[in-house]
């Protein structure tokens, strides 16, 4: 039976959320930004008043807005102007993306996995998601697609902090080619990174479409019609990024691009290959704009 979003929270997830520290908390100002933008009564002034309390976030928003990512004519010199030019939702997405780098920090866990590897992979999937969405003519904002790709593997961060030794065992099994990543997670940890990530998104009060991406990007066939195109795009982006081995790639190394997914988005394989060809450089540019994890 298809689902859109669920609250799949076995005991192991509740335990993880109670154990982890920094990864379970976005900066307070970012949480307020989300709250304001999701409230239909909020105004641009409300958003500006919150963002201006954090000079570092303000500076990072302006850096992103003035980068090649948006390609706006002329320089945007203030956050209030950015809000006018791009809208509340776009500035919210930039705020979340700008806040994510602080979460992708920590010592290397295995030869194949460190927080920086996961950050590089996440940025790559974000860039690919944006490009695939553009090629597919999806009406959802491209900044929203970028954010969806950027946060898709949040659950791996939760596993890294709550179950480091078990995650290392999952990675060893996948590196040996024994089992797919999500199956190894269930066997070793008791849940997979989609479930951990969806729980984090619920904690942070992310919109339902982002929760669908984080919770089902390896299970597109379980997503209802409202979100299926969005999740399919991030799934394809994830597969391409893992095939290119940009950053951490084991989570989807056994998956392939399926013709039915291309047909659902009215894409041909040649267009995906064009996106793949420019992906490494585009991801490096985006990473330089957002900063390192």
- Express each pLDDT in 5-55 by its tens digit: 444 557 888 888 877 765 656 888 999 999 999 999 999 999 999 999 999
Q: Which domain CATH number covers 144?
A: 1.10.3210.10
Task: Return the axis-axis angle of helices 88-100 and 79-86, rounded to nearest 10°.
Answer: 120
Q: Is pLDDT at 70 greater than 70 in this prediction?
A: yes
171, 151 Cβ separation under 8 angstroms: no
Please give the residue range of the domain that contains residue 199. 11-25+101-290
Domain count of the chain? 1
- pLDDT given at position 5: 44
Q: Is residue 53 part of a domain?
A: no
Q: Label each residue of 31-88 as H, E or C.
A: HHHHHHHHCCCCCHHHHHHHHCCCHHHHHHHHHHHCCCCCCCCCCCCCHHHHHHHHCH
Q: Is residue 145 part of a domain?
A: yes
Q: Is residue 5 part of a domain?
A: no
The pTM is what? Answer: 0.90
Average pLDDT of every residue of the chain: 88
- pLDDT given at position 1: 33
Q: Is residue 43 part of a domain?
A: no
- pLDDT given at position 110: 84
């Amino acid at each position: 039976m298809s689902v859109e979003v669920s609250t799949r929270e076995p005991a192991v997830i509740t335990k993880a959320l109670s154990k982890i520290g920094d990864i379970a908390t976005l900066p307070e100002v970012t949480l307020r930004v989300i709250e304001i933008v999701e409230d239909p009564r909020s105004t641009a002034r409300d958003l500006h008043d919150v963002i201006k309390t954090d000079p570092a976030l303000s500076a990072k928003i302006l850096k992103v807005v003035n980068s090649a990512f948006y390609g706006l004519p002329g320089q945007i010199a203030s956050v209030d102007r950015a809000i006018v030019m791009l809208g509340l939702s776009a500035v919210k997405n930039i705020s979340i993306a700008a806040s994510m780098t602080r979460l992708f920090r920590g010592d290397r866990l295995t030869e194949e996995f460190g927080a920086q590897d996961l950050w590089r992979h996440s940025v790559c999937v974000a860039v690919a998601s944006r490009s695939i969405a553009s090629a597919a003519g999806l009406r959802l904002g491209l900044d929203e697609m970028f954010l969806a790709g950027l946060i898709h593997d949040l659950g791996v961060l939760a596993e890294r902090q709550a179950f480091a030794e078990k995650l290392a065992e999952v990675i060893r099994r996948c590196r040996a080619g024994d089992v797919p990543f999500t199956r190894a997670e269930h066997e070793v940890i008791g849940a997979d990174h989609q479930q951990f990530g969806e729980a984090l998104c619920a904690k942070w009060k992310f919109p339902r479409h982002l929760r669908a991406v984080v919770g089902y990007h390896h299970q597109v066939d379980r997503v209802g019609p409202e979100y299926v195109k969005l999740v399919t795009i991030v799934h394809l982006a994830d597969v391409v990024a893992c095939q290119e081995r940009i950053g951490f790639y084991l989570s989807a190394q056994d998956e392939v691009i399926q013709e039915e997914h291309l047909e659902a988005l009215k894409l041909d394989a040649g267009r995906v290959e064009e996106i793949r060809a420019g992906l490494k450089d585009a991801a490096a540019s985006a990473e330089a704009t957002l900063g390192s994890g």
